Amino acid sequence: MSDVGTVETMQRDEAAGELEWLAGEIARHDRLYHALDAPEISDADYDALRRRNAAIEARFPDLVRADSPALRVGAPPVEAFGKVAHAVPMLSLDNAMADEDVVEFIARIRRFLNLGEGDPVAISAEPKIDGLSCALRYEDGLLVRGATRGDGTTGEDITANVRTIFDIPQRLAAEGDPPALLEVRGEIFMHHADFQALNRRREDNGDPVFANPRNAAAGSVRQLDSRITARRRLRFFAYAWGEAEPAIDGSYSAFLDRLERLGFNVNPLRRLCRTAGELVEYHREIASMRHELGYDIDGVVLKIDDIALQRRLGFVGRAPRWAIAHKFEAEKVETRLLEIRIQVGRTGALTPVAELESVTVGGVVVSRATLHNQDYIEEKDIRVGDIVTIQRAGDVIPQVVTVDVDRRPEDARPFIFPDHCPECGSLAIRPEGEAVRRCTGGLVCPAQLTERLRHFVSREAFDIEGLGRKQVPQLIEAGLIREPADIFRLARDRGTLDRLESLDGWAEKKVQKLVKALDERRRIGLDRVIYGLGIRFVGETNARLLARHYGSLEGWRSAMLQIGTSDEEALAELNGIDGIGPRIVEALREFFAEGRNVEVLDALTGELQVEAVAMPNGDATPFSGKTLVFTGSLAMSRAEAKARAEALGAKVAGSVSKKTDFVIAGADAGSKARKAAELGIDVLSEAQWMEMAATS
């Protein structure tokens, strides 16, 4: 492959030809990697392809293709979704709950078509995916629009979002003979593994978790910022069509085969059946394997296979007469609630769990179910000793759905939710407007210990070579580490090192290496220390903002102690830092209100030499160490302007005060520019700022 340098001398037609090749090649590798899990090239070679595509697109922006691989990473956010009218309505299916409903469905069709005893009718059966239906419009083989189902008549335009889903081809494959117009319909969904990983990440960030994969998929598809959608691993199964030109004829099963040739995933468990008996058997088989599929299904869909017969059968009201959804029975069962236990999650969330008399639901023995949170228990008035109905919704953790008040034991008392962490005794608080009560003992709580220490050694935090996610639980279990400072104490204590050497996988060499790595990390930037503490909402960016603002460990620590006592002046200063929102302020206040967290911090910093954050481009710029305020509308986005300023060593503040050094005023700058003038602060136009920034 030629290197990026040659792009500079590339001719237009050459560029167009290569962009076409790259679009096809990258799409092929995407599919091999994401859909088939069988990559042919290394990540580095793949990245090289994408970089080359980006370089050519940058030089020839007018040649950017509709199926450009760059679209896979998402586009800038939109204000709202546009509306899309479905030329062919997206209908819903009638439901069959019992086997007899399927028998009746077939009988009705036979009567309608006036079929004789001997005339077979083929029915295509496939799992019913529990996701989000969507319509994809392809013109001359190119994806031009994606839309949600909406109310069936009008949906939302989610084109930028569906472009980020690797199962959805941007260009239909030539093998399937792409028609002039084809609207492919199917289901967007999420695998259990991806759902769990997403929820873990959300929990780590303090964001609310999704209740089930369906909600997660729906929430991801309906993101106004498609770059967020791009980070969620969404999947797609195709199973229907809307508008098509030329019209789709023949059989439904042949159409599914063609969808596969066009580059779509079609459910591999589909089967052609000929009798009601076969359909009932198919339903039973799929039900028995539903928990091993790795994604949620809620039944099977049965469709008359012959498309000409489908047309003859037509619709009753808004549902087709030629199809039906044979649902799975809701997996609900009654049992007795023996105890309500409070579980403390990795991030300190107190979750009530119902301990149950063991019972079988959907082939699985269940002795525990989630009660979600405090409100849930209170609203349903769930008490220990009650007979409750539990349900396995989708394939997530079973939940208690109802309680039979009539069969309640006389001595049952309302449950009182604890206000202290059962694991560590720290205060557990529930911020206003939040459903979850949390333990505030971030660094002292054993329930949170493993994840806290894993976070502490992670690459963005202390980045300790030889001590990663895998080793942390091992060292905790061996009793070698209980808090961050212990990690550094390891290197100082011969006895501990001997014990470490005796552990699985720790030879003498490895221990020596770890000691060296630890000593290298004793000098560390304040921003990494702050980030490493794993305070809720304090990610890398916020940690850097705090480190820059307060300058030194001492400055930051003393300010935070004041925050912990809700000192008004300290709170006002913290609130005034551009980029630090009320959630972060509250999280810092909670953290520093717990004295034991401060002890842990002090023990840690006693082992370290904490450095003030180095300003990039250090002393060279006129903005180093200065405080800047941006106001008015700028040509550059606020985010970019801020990143630029920080790269030049400046701090960015949200409001003008005596501490402000420069105000950069864009068009229509209002009160801030006036205030700057009053205070005698230098006001720069955007052009002046750009010029100074460029030469710095």
Instruction: Kindly list the residues in this chain that would bind Zn ion in the complex (CB under 5 A).
Output: 421, 423-424, 426, 439, 441, 445
For residue 453, the minimal CB distance to Zn ion (Å) is 15
SS3 499: helix
CA-closest candidate to residue 81, choices 218, 223, 220, 201: 223
d(C-alpha 306, C-alpha 582), whole Å: 60
For residue 342, the minimal CB distance to Zn ion (Å) is 10
For residue 443, the minimal CB distance to Zn ion (Å) is 10
Q: Which is nearer to Zn ion, 53 or 448 (CB)?
A: 448
What residues pair up with 304 in beta bridges, in sequence order? 123
Q: Residue holding tokens 């299916």? A: 93
For residue 209, the minimal CB distance to Zn ion (Å) is 19
Q: Which is nearer to Zn ion, 526 or 533 (CB)?
A: 533
d(C-alpha 502, C-alpha 171), whole Å: 57
Catalytic residue among 83, 128, 303, 332: 128
DSSP, res 209: P
SS3 502: coil
SS3 657: coil
Q: Using alpha carbons, list the distances in angstroms from residue 532 to 106, 240, 452, 477, 543.
A: 63, 50, 8, 21, 9
Q: Which is nearer to Zn ion, 55 or 445 (CB)?
A: 445
262 and 176 in contact (C-beta within 8 Å)? Answer: yes
Q: Residue holding tokens 């107190």? A: 350
Q: Which is nearer to Zn ion, 253 or 426 (CB)?
A: 426
Residue 61 CB: number of other CB atoms within 10 A?
7
Beta strands of 111-218 (E only): which ranges?
Answer: 123-129, 132-139, 142-148, 154-156, 181-189
For residue 442, the minimal CB distance to Zn ion (Å) is 8
Q: Which is nearer to Zn ion, 74 or 206 (CB)?
A: 206
For residue 341, the minimal CB distance to Zn ion (Å) is 15
Give 441-455 as a DSSP string: -TTT-HHHHHHHHHH
SS3 415: coil
For residue 348, the minimal CB distance to Zn ion (Å) is 6
For residue 447, the minimal CB distance to Zn ion (Å) is 6
Exposed, middle or buried: residue 234 (CB in 10 Å: 0-12, 13-18, 19+)?
Answer: buried
Helix (H) or strand (E) holding 108: helix 99-113
Angle between helices 582-593 and 595-605 (to 10 degrees): 90
642 and 651 in contact (C-beta within 8 Å)? Answer: no
Helix (H) or strand (E) holding 39: none
Q: Which is nearer to Zn ion, 309 or 445 (CB)?
A: 445
Q: Using alpha carbons, list the distances in angstroms from residue 338 to 106, 187, 375.
A: 46, 40, 20
Q: Number of helices and strands (H, E) in the chain?
A: 25, 26
Is the C-alpha dihedral spanning 373, 376, 378, 383 positive or negative? negative
Residue 612 CB: number of other CB atoms within 10 A?
17
Q: Which is nearer to Zn ion, 305 or 423 (CB)?
A: 423
Is the C-alpha dihedral spanning 124, 128, 133, 137 positive or negative? negative
Whether 128 sits among the annotated catalytic residues: the reply is: yes
For residue 33, the minimal CB distance to Zn ion (Å) is 41
Q: Which is nearer to Zn ion, 424 or 563 (CB)?
A: 424
448 and 348 in contact (C-beta within 8 Å)? Answer: yes
Exposed, middle or buried: residue 561 (CB in 10 Å: 0-12, 13-18, 19+)?
Answer: middle
For residue 422, the minimal CB distance to Zn ion (Å) is 8
For residue 428, the minimal CB distance to Zn ion (Å) is 7
Phi/psi at 345 (5° precision) = -75, 175
Q: Using alpha carbons, list the distances in angstroms from residue 531 to 527, 545, 547.
A: 6, 11, 10
Q: Which is nearer to Zn ion, 122 or 427 (CB)?
A: 427
d(C-alpha 21, C-alpha 23), whole Å: 6
Exposed, middle or buried: residue 450 (CB in 10 Å: 0-12, 13-18, 19+)?
Answer: middle
Q: Which is nearer to Zn ion, 50 or 430 (CB)?
A: 430
d(C-alpha 96, C-alpha 203), whole Å: 38
Q: Residue holding tokens 């729906």? A: 218
Query: Residue 258: what residue type?
Result: R
d(C-alpha 647, C-alpha 616), whole Å: 6
For residue 534, the minimal CB distance to Zn ion (Å) is 14
Phi/psi at 185 (5° precision) = -115, 150
Q: Which is nearer to Zn ion, 188 or 424 (CB)?
A: 424
Locate 579 and state its tokens: 């980029």
Q: Which is nearer to Zn ion, 344 or 681 (CB)?
A: 344
148 and 158 in contact (C-beta within 8 Å)? Answer: yes
d(C-alpha 481, C-alpha 556), whole Å: 26
Q: Which is nearer to Zn ion, 230 or 445 (CB)?
A: 445
Query: Which are the catalytic amino acids?
Result: 128
